[in-house]
Structure 1
Amino acid sequence: MKNYDKYTKGYFMPPVSSLKWTQKEYITEAPTWCSVDLRDGNQALIVPMNLEEKLEFFKLLVKIGFKEIEVGFPAASETEFTFLRTLIEQNLIPDDVTIQVLTQAREHIIRKTFESLKGAPRAVVHLYNSTSVAQREQVFRKTKEEIINIAVTGAELLKTCAEETEGNFQFQYSPESFTGTEIEFALDICNAVLDVWKPTADNKVIMNLPVTVSMSMPHVYASQIEYMSDNMKYRENVILSLHPHNDRGTGVADTELALLAGGQRVEGTLFGNGERTGNVDIITLALNMYSHGVDPQLNFENLPEIRTIYERLTKMTVNERHPYAGELVFTAFSGSHQDAIAKGMKWREEENRQYWSVPYLPIDPLDIGRQYEGDIIRINSQSGKGGIGYLLQQNYGLDLPQQMRENFGYKVKDISDRLNKEIMPEEIYDIFKTEYVNIKTPIEFVNYHFTKSDDFQTVVQVIKNNETLELTGTGDGRLDAISNALQTDLGISFSNLTYKEHALDVGSKSQAVSYIGITAADGTMYWGCGIHVDIMTSSVKALVSAVNKMIG
């Protein structure tokens, strides 16, 4: 690919080794979560949400369990300002939720921001200015000292306005474009802001180190975070926050490694909405922790409902393959996957194990509001007998013998391949009934009765070519006698009768289902199924159905 040589890395590694995070295996507790859906996410929508939509989204975030929610940039527009005032004046902010607002390090914007916060029970005021080499040289054309002065002046004004405004305020600072900033300079500007705010144990501040534009592999960001964490002033009174974007498709990995490296707080959005490729997806992060047995402190037990509300309010769509939330992420079409899942689910049911370990399913779909039926196994031309058999068993209570599953599986796959479409469970059931159940042509079973001497003797009444016939036979058992009657009087031959039966339902009105396989003289195996309230009658119907398959 041409022009590759015009690109070079735009990030900066720490001046010393920062790799202690590599010794940690996984995240052991949830960070503080801050949703930025209503600010960072909203500004990235083709059509930003209106007031009513933002209010509904805010209530959704509260319901999920977010305790910190960035509600907007109130000095940027009248809509943003009005939304914040509505939350405050209508007392819509729960006692355990803190709102957050964004402001540039400019005096009139800071003062307008504090004006919007009057009467707020608690608020984080989030100050930022850009610090990267590209921003300094191309946009602001300022020296490092001038950039630091912007941040310090803004931090001082925050203190002044907070003292002049009634309320409970916490400060947050972001060196925007942190990942494109020399690490020593990022540390200098953060420490300069901290020297203004002088955080204490009772008045901690948030230092937010964003991946404004993703520039490196995830381990680089983790090393940058560890260096900042190790060298930042007032560290015990600083909440180190992460705000990754997803330009390189590594937003989740960036965040997870940075949490190992000292991050304590994460700013992100539902489903990763945001500028360009989006913010980090908090749902994926939270459920990744959940899959390791860590309580994420957020409630995604009804993820399909959350997805529906999100899509309606944002006009965005969640991809079918989106982790955890996508329509198809728990679905197996592949035959080998279906077989493993079906066997894993059966094993789990038999063993009654505490811990989840079903092949191909990282978490139990039921835990996030998905269903086994219709979500896990779906059938197309790539599917196998295991998945088809699993659907019949789960949806209709039919537990086919292994060889019959294979026989039926090929029929369904052929139909799917021919029609070039997915086959729904009800269609599979209809195909099964048509192909195997209580088949009446060319022979229709009518009745039977037995007499008992030394052997079982039977008379089987059938209709063939519109003529009623009475077939007689003798055998070691009832089914053997009926089998011999069919073969002798109809002039047919088969062997290796394979039989299985079970109750189809439970209760006084339960039906019995029988499956019978027979082998013709040429070695081909034919299957039939009988369903009836009487187990013997269902067996006879199954045998006659198999015979009909053979001679039909």
Structure 2
Amino acid sequence: MPKMNIKKYTKNYFMPPKIDMSWAFKEYPDKAPVWCSVDLRDGNQALVIPMSLDEKIEFYKMLLKIGFKEIEVGFPAASETEYEFLRTLVERDLIPDDVTVQVLTQAREHIIKRTFEALDGVKNAIVHVYNSTSVAQREQVFKKSKDDIKKIAVNGAIMLKELTEKAGQKYRFEYSPESFTGTEIDYACEVCNDVLDIWQPTAERKAIINLPSTVQMSMAHVYATQIAYVSQHLKYRDNVVLSLHPHNDRGTGVADSEMGILAGADRIEGTLFGNGERTGNADIVTIAMNMAALGIDPQLDFSNMPEIINLYESVTRMHVYDRQPYSGSLVFAAFSGSHQDAIAKGMKWRAEKKPAHWTVPYLLIDPKDIGREYDGDVIRINSQSGKGGVGYIMEQKYGLDMPKKMREDFSYRIKDVSDHKHKELLPDEIYKIFHDVYVNVEKPLALIDFKLDKTADGMRNGTVHLYSGGKEKVLPAHGNGRLDAVSNALQKELGINYSNLIYSEHAMEIGSTSRAMAYIGITGKDGKTAWGAGMDTDIITASVKALISAVNRLQQ
């Protein structure tokens, strides 16, 4: 196969001049950034089939429910669909007073005017203007000098300010040096400062400077140093919200965002689950949940992740990848036996100790905090699973607390079934296998009844009535307890030999509380242990049924 020509690739980004690097020693952010969802513009234009008006409204309402206070609603001058969506939000009074909608516009007068027409009636708005500043864009697309490109930005800022004042509005402004990552950093900062000189931001009306990684070109720490330089050299810094719009070409959109926040960014523009052009945008769900996992309130509510995913997949026709952090269907799933065992023990320890903080092995966060369930989402059973996982499922979902050695015996059977079927086994399938194999087994022996009275010396004496080989038999029984008496009868009268009887019992805590479960293991002449289980409303009867089940399995 031909090898990739590595020599044609080179560094297309610029390291910033010397900066203060103290930010790099911070462990985590002090607080969550301002979040701006761009799903309805950037995310929507990346869809094979863009959302309809009704779908966009449904998605928008979900964003409000999650807690977004800034939402980019589109490029209203670009098409009638975009224009109609914004007007619908206004006319149906769907923009709460504490929510700011953001619109994108080019720095062209007729486009800005059309944008203002769409915004008529909006209380809080951000008008976002941009132009490309990178070396590649200057040389290949615009064929303009640095001064020419800067003039486009300044003229756009002037036009935006004048038309806003003429319209009698106090919209906030946002400027992006598009393709920032391919721009000389000191030059990008110079352009931003010239724009800010036009806008003269104040504490009451802050401007937004947005630094997009339109195309990722470097490792995350390089992008962060670029952010740090701009943060440390912006004019009016106290009155500027420094924003990031990371894309994901190198797969580091989350890392760029997190390091950028440490480096001085105040705001993140991104999408749910990272949907966006090419490899996507910064994944806000992951960034926010990463903060939550560190004990930082992300100010967004993902407590019903399954509902969010269902709506997202319905209206975007996209699929949330099964291993997508936090949101994927398998992100909490443990198939490995050792992982399952550790999780099961960790959950049991947590239930007993009730610690203040979450420290369960292999689980970064508590799945229940985002609307997931332990039995269906965490412990998943296939041919790779072990006794810990199988036992956990049986105990948590069905209240069956098998002895340790019986769990092991059962787990091997489950692994064998899963291996031969080449599929994961669901909890109800596992329970059915358990019930069919171990519980109240009636061939070749089937219990009809037993009567055991207590004698003066404390022993038990009576009879065991059962089917054996299709015939009814009444066996005399004598022992130091009812179970011992039945066991003696089976061995003496039917010639069944076994030893090392292991016994445990418990009431059924899940389901009907009137039932009891007993487990018995016996060792045959070949040294192998056969396990049986008995279920009945009476614990003694359940024990006898468990013994007969074990004897039947010993003879299979």
TM bin (shorter chain)? over 0.9
Indicate the residue corresponding to 1:181 in structure 2: 183
Q: Which amino acid aligns with 1:501?
A: E
> Secondary structure in 2 aligned to 1:433?
helix
In the alignment, the residues of structure 1 paired with residue 401 and residue 416 of structure 2 have an alpha-carbon distance, to the nearest angstrom, of 21
User: Once the 2 structures are TM-superposed, how far is the Cα of residue 375 of structure 1 from its aligned partner?
Assistant: 1.2
User: Once the 2 structures are TM-superposed, how far is the Cα of residue 48 of structure 1 from its aligned partner?
Assistant: 1.2
Instruction: Give a deviation string over 1:136-173, Cα, whole Å, max 9, x none.
Output: 00000100000000000000011101101133300110
> Secondary structure in 2 aligned to 1:374?
helix
User: Once the 2 structures are TM-superposed, how far is the Cα of residue 221 of structure 1 from its aligned partner?
Assistant: 0.8
Question: Where has structure 1 moved over 4 Å in runs of 4 or more?
Answer: 506-509
Q: Which amino acid aligns with 2:492?
A: T
Report the CA distance shift for 1:302/1:508 in structure 2 as closer, same or farther (over 3 A). closer
Q: Which moved more, 1:46-55 or 1:295-304?
A: 46-55
Return the match for 1:453 from 437, 445, 456. 456
- The answer (yes or no) to whether the contact 2:507–2:513 under 8 Å persists in 1 is no
User: Once the 2 structures are TM-superposed, how far is the Cα of residue 299 of structure 1 from its aligned partner?
Assistant: 1.0
Indicate the residue corresponding to 2:546 in structure 1: 542
Return the match for 1:404 from 403, 406, 411. 406
Indicate the residue corresponding to 1:268 in structure 2: 270
Q: Which amino acid aligns with 1:503?
A: A
In the alignment, the residues of structure 2 paired with residue 489 and residue 497 of structure 1 have an alpha-carbon distance, to the nearest angstrom, of 18
Return the match for 1:109 from 98, 108, 111. 111
In the alignment, the residues of structure 2 paired with residue 506 and residue 65 of structure 1 have an alpha-carbon distance, to the nearest angstrom, of 37
Indicate the residue corresponding to 2:48 in structure 1: 46
- The answer (yes or no) to whether the contact 1:18–1:224 under 8 Å persists in 2 is no
Instruction: Give a deviation string over 1:91-149, Cα, whole Å, max 9, x none.
Output: 21111101111111222222222222222111101010000011000000100000000
1:161-200 correspondence to structure 2 within 5 Å: 161-200=163-202
In the alignment, the residues of structure 2 paired with residue 178 and residue 323 of structure 1 have an alpha-carbon distance, to the nearest angstrom, of 28
1:45-194 correspondence to structure 2 within 5 Å: 45-194=47-196
TM-score (norm 2): 0.97
Report the CA distance shift for 1:506/1:358 in structure 2 as closer, same or farther (over 3 A). closer
Indicate the residue corresponding to 2:395 in structure 1: 393
Q: Which amino acid aligns with 2:11?
A: K
In structure 1, runs of 5+ residues without a counterpart are none
Q: Which amino acid aligns with 1:521?
A: K
Indicate the residue corresponding to 2:284 in structure 1: 282
Indicate the residue corresponding to 1:299 in structure 2: 301
- The answer (yes or no) to whether the contact 1:458–1:482 under 8 Å persists in 2 is no
Indicate the residue corresponding to 1:226 in structure 2: 228
User: Once the 2 structures are TM-superposed, how far is the Cα of residue 90 of structure 1 from its aligned partner?
Assistant: 2.4
Indicate the residue corresponding to 1:528 in structure 2: 532
Indicate the residue corresponding to 1:349 in structure 2: 351
Return the match for 2:516 from 488, 512, 517. 512
Report the CA distance shift for 1:507/1:171 in structure 2 as closer, same or farther (over 3 A). closer
> Secondary structure in 1 aligned to 2:375?
coil
- The answer (yes or no) to whether the contact 2:89–2:95 under 8 Å persists in 1 is yes
Indicate the residue corresponding to 1:8 in structure 2: 10
> Secondary structure in 2 aligned to 1:100?
strand
- The answer (yes or no) to whether the contact 2:13–2:182 under 8 Å persists in 1 is yes
Q: Which amino acid aligns with 2:525?
A: A
- The answer (yes or no) to whether the contact 1:132–1:181 under 8 Å persists in 2 is yes
> Secondary structure in 2 aligned to 1:46?
coil
Q: Which amino acid aligns with 1:453?
A: A
Q: Which amino acid aligns with 1:490?
A: L
- The answer (yes or no) to whether the contact 2:19–2:228 under 8 Å persists in 1 is no
Indicate the residue corresponding to 1:206 in structure 2: 208
Instruction: Give a deviation string over 1:39-74, Cα, whole Å, max 9, x none.
Output: 111111111112222122111111111100111111
In the alignment, the residues of structure 2 paired with residue 483 and residue 127 of structure 1 have an alpha-carbon distance, to the nearest angstrom, of 86
Instruction: Give a deviation string over 1:199-229, Cα, whole Å, max 9, x none.
Output: 1222210000011101111101111111111
In the alignment, the residues of structure 2 paired with residue 489 and residue 166 of structure 1 have an alpha-carbon distance, to the nearest angstrom, of 103
Report the CA distance shift for 1:185/1:508 in structure 2 as closer, same or farther (over 3 A). closer
1:434-445 correspondence to structure 2 within 5 Å: 434-445=436-447
In the alignment, the residues of structure 1 paired with residue 490 and residue 55 of structure 2 have an alpha-carbon distance, to the nearest angstrom, of 71
In the alignment, the residues of structure 2 paired with residue 170 and residue 81 of structure 1 have an alpha-carbon distance, to the nearest angstrom, of 19
> Secondary structure in 2 aligned to 1:33?
strand
RMSD of Structure 2 on Structure 1 (CA): 1.3
TM-score (norm 1): 0.98
Instruction: Give a deviation string over 1:328-361, Cα, whole Å, max 9, x none.
Output: 1111111111111111111111111221111111
- The answer (yes or no) to whether the contact 2:247–2:253 under 8 Å persists in 1 is yes
1:469 maps onto 2:476 in alignment:
no
Q: Which amino acid aligns with 1:229?
A: S
Report the CA distance shift for 1:507/1:383 in structure 2 as closer, same or farther (over 3 A). closer
User: Once the 2 structures are TM-superposed, how far is the Cα of residue 508 of structure 1 from its aligned partner?
Assistant: 8.8
Task: Among all aligned residue pairs of Structure 1 and Structure 2, give the percentage whose two residues are the same amino acid.
Answer: 62
Report the CA distance shift for 1:237/1:423 in structure 2 as closer, same or farther (over 3 A). same
In structure 2, runs of 5+ residues without a counterpart are none
In the alignment, the residues of structure 2 paired with residue 509 and residue 83 of structure 1 have an alpha-carbon distance, to the nearest angstrom, of 56
In the alignment, the residues of structure 1 paired with residue 552 and residue 101 of structure 2 have an alpha-carbon distance, to the nearest angstrom, of 73
User: Once the 2 structures are TM-superposed, how far is the Cα of residue 505 of structure 1 from its aligned partner?
Assistant: 3.7
In the alignment, the residues of structure 2 paired with residue 79 and residue 420 of structure 1 have an alpha-carbon distance, to the nearest angstrom, of 48
Q: Which moved more, 1:25-34 or 1:104-113?
A: 104-113
In the alignment, the residues of structure 2 paired with residue 247 and residue 398 of structure 1 have an alpha-carbon distance, to the nearest angstrom, of 49
In the alignment, the residues of structure 1 paired with residue 499 and residue 44 of structure 2 have an alpha-carbon distance, to the nearest angstrom, of 71
In the alignment, the residues of structure 2 paired with residue 300 and residue 124 of structure 1 have an alpha-carbon distance, to the nearest angstrom, of 25
User: Once the 2 structures are TM-superposed, how far is the Cα of residue 18 of structure 1 from its aligned partner?
Assistant: 4.4
